[in-house]
Amino acid sequence: MATITVRVSDVEKQFLDEMAKFDGKSLSELISEYGLDDDE
């Protein structure tokens, strides 16, 4: 599996962590799903 690095601010990271926690997913799962949903 490939690795992709995304740079975000500390505030954005905290927000994404909370979104992932709310959805019961890892941060990687959240970003992968949202990224793929936008392309489809």
Evaluate whether residue 1 is within a structural domain: no
Q: What is the mean pLDDT of the chain?
A: 88
Is residue 29 in some structural domain? yes
Segments forming the whole domain that contains residue 23: 10-39
Return the pLDDT at 39.
Answer: 52
Domain count, the chain: 1
Residue 28 lies in a domain: yes
Confidence of residue 35 (pLDDT cuts 50, 70, 90): confident
Instruction: Average the pLDDT over each of 1-5, 12-16, 24-28 and give the range with the smallest value.
Output: 1-5
pTM equals 0.74
Is 14 within the bounds of a domain? Answer: yes
In a domain, 17, yes or no: yes
Instruction: Give a yes or no: residue 33 inside a domain.
Output: yes
16 within a domain of the structure (yes/no): yes
In this structure, are residues 12 and 30 in contact, taking their beta carbons and an 8 Å threshold? no
If phi > 0 it is left, if psi is from -120 to 50 it is alpha, else beta; for residue 39 that is alpha
